[in-house]
């Protein structure tokens, strides 16, 4: 696809993939060990939450069935698979995810993998996000893994490659969101995990911000998992997050 056609297709998908309401900018991560726990959490959160992330922990516990169920109930689903494999395998994975009805999925930001994913999507409405640098990693972790440079530098390079490959957005920490918005423009989504309410435990996240700060930095969607699903009253925490998002939007 030529560059003008690529940009036009991205703009069209961007309009469909953006949050439909301020409250929908919150994506609750169902980082739970089994399907039953996830179903109970969805029931408890009720109408407060309209968008859920399902990652590999829940997928390996039967979570793919929940994708179709949530979609059938009018919810949006971010199937966070972080695909990285040979081109043919990535392409096959993307085709399968598209058939499930997920709104978003992730591919590690390696150029060949991203190009394979973009080609395999075809006319499906599935949004493709490039995972730049995991929010649990800092400069020291990258150095240990053999990368040269800082996390911010690697995020920038991979974000530029994602745009060139035809991806619809990126996943990055809120600390990089402002710079990435300037780099990518308004037509690409920025999804930010590593969001923690003020005073919440960071857990294994190292590059974090509060919801208000992440939105001001340019994030379109905020992914929050443990602060909600591990809370004594998850619905109350989710309601407070939605209120904060609506005030900051």
Please check whether residue 197 is in contact with residue 226, taking contact to mean a CB–CB distance below 8 angstroms. no
- Which residues does 41 contact at the CB level (< 8 Å), separation at least 6? 28, 30, 32, 229, 234
Residue of 53, 75, 82, 206 marked active site? 82
Please check whether residue 223 is in contact with residue 205, taking contact to mean a CB–CB distance below 8 angstroms. no
| Rounded Cα–Cα distance for residues 32 and 30 (Å) | 5
Q: At what angle do helices 64-72 and 87-100 cross, to 10 degrees?
A: 40
| Rounded Cα–Cα distance for residues 197 and 240 (Å) | 9
| Rounded Cα–Cα distance for residues 148 and 65 (Å) | 41
Token pair belonging to 176: 């990089």
Per DSSP, the chain holds a count of helices (H) and strands (E) of 12, 8
230: annotated active-site residue: no
**Residues catalogued as catalytic:** 82
């Amino acid at each position: 696809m030529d560059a003008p056609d690529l940009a036009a297709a991205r703009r069209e998908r961007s309009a469909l993939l953006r949050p439909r309401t301020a409250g929908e900018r919150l994506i609750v991560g169902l980082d739970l060990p089994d399907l039953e726990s996830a179903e109970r959490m969805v029931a408890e959160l009720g109408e407060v939450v309209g968008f859920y992330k399902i990652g590999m922990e829940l997928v390996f516990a039967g979570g793919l069935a929940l994708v179709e169920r949530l979609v059938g109930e009018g919810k949006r689903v971010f199937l966070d698979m972080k695909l990285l494999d040979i081109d043919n395998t990535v392409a096959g994975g993307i085709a399968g995810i598209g058939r499930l009805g997920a709104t978003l999925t992730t591919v590690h930001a390696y150029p060949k993998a991203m190009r394979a994913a973009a080609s395999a999507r075809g006319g499906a409405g599935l949004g493709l996000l490039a995972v730049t640098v995991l929010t649990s990693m800092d400069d020291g972790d990258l150095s240990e893994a053999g990368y040269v440079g800082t996390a911010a530098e690697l995020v920038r390079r991979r974000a530029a490659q994602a745009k060139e490959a035809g991806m619809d957005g990126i996943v990055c920490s809120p600390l990089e969101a402002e710079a990435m918005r300037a780099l990518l423009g308004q037509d690409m989504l920025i999804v930010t995990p590593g969001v923690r309410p003020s005073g919440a435990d960071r857990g294994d996240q190292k590059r974090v911000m509060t919801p208000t700060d992440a939105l001001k930095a340019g994030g379109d969607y905020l992914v929050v998992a443990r602060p909600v699903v591990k809370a004594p009253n998850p619905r109350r925490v989710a309601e407070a997050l939605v209120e904060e998002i609506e005030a900051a939007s």
